[in-house]
Structure 1
Amino acid sequence: MNKKISDIDVYHVLDNYFKQLDSVSIKSDGFFRQEDDKDRYETLFM
């Protein structure tokens, strides 16, 4: 049974995907970035 994917489904999947990316990058900042890089990163995006 083939179900056509609606725009809303696609948006929902992409939204969840980007939320996961955000949480991963936030978690990895403390481990993989040096403090200066972290400050620079926050200045760019906040």
Structure 2
Amino acid sequence: MISNESVATLTEELGERLKQARLNQDLTQAELAKRVGVTRKMV
């Protein structure tokens, strides 16, 4: 079973990877959210 600490670490790493991918495409959070059909807060 995966620990809460592991989940937190994975979540943080995923967030950083998504941020870097977004920045590499010169997208704001709002622009990315619009493209994928979610709110900016979800991004």
TM-score range normalised by the length of the shorter chain: 0.5 to 0.7
Point out 4+ residue stretches in structure 1 off by more than 2 angstroms. none
In the alignment, structure 1 segments of 5+ residues that lack a partner are 42-46
Cα distance in 2 between the residues matched to 1:17 and 1:5: 16
- Counterpart selection for 1:24 from 21, 25, 33: 21
Q: Which has the higher helix share?
A: 1
Counterpart residue type for residue 13 of structure 1: L
Structure 1 or 2, whichever has the larger Rg, is 1
In the alignment, structure 2 segments of 5+ residues that lack a partner are 32-43
What root-mean-square deviation, in Å, do the aligned CA atoms of Structure 1 and Structure 2 show? 1.9
